[in-house]
């Protein structure tokens, strides 16, 4: 079953359970997936691949993380808590992210493969690592590991 169909099933489950927060989050993802399918020329009934659907969920999770930071900076903890609750639901649809200890060997291998020795090539190295770890590692974490190994 594709991730998009799984989302629709979970939306029905949330309706049955009368879980309004979960339902709202899943509806948002489904709507964004539909918009993405339309923008790719597949029409409103078009299906996205699992990778495309995961990219949509990642984008939504990133928006929620940004919102949490903005709400906390603006002194609105109740809104930050609401966004955090929605983020937890979004993260259930994402594969687990790699830890620093799992990212480090990949970065070290790329350093040797590319022959990177200075911080000037950090962007090139980060890009190469992110290409290899697409969807499995957080970009900020990869950047942090790259900077620590090059310093």
Per-residue pLDDT reduced to its tens digit, 33-74: 999 999 999 888 888 898 899 999 999 999 999 999 999 999
pTM: 0.75
Per-residue pLDDT reduced to its tens digit, 84-138: 999 999 999 988 888 889 999 988 898 888 888 788 888 888 888 888 888 788 8
User: 18: part of which helix (H) or strand (E)?
Assistant: none
Could you give all domains of the chain from N- to C-terminal order, each with its CATH number? Answer: 3-91 (1.10.1510.10), 100-150 (1.10.10.410)
Q: Tell me what pLDDT residue 69 has.
A: 95
pLDDT at 18 over 90: yes
For 10-26, letters b (16+ CB in 10 Å) and e give bbeebeeeeeeebbebb
Q: Tell me what pLDDT residue 132 has.
A: 87
């Amino acid at each position: 079953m594709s991730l998009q169909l799984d989302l629709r099933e979970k939306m029905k489950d949330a309706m049955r359970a009368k879980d309004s927060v979960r339902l709202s989050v899943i509806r948002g993802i489904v709507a964004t997936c539909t918009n993405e399918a339309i923008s790719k020329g597949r029409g409103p009934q078009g299906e996205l691949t699992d990778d495309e659907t995961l990219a949509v969920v990642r984008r939504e999770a990133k928006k929620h993380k940004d919102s949490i930071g903005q709400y906390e900076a603006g002194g609105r903890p109740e809104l930050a808590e609401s966004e955090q609750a929605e983020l937890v639901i979004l993260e259930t649809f994402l594969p687990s992210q790699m830890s620093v200890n799992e990212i480090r060997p990949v970065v070290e291998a790329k350093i040797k493969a590319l022959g990177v020795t200075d911080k000037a090539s950090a962007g090139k190295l980060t890009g190469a690592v992110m290409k290899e770890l697409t969807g499995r590692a957080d970009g900020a974490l990869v950047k942090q590991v790259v900077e620590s190994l090059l310093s």
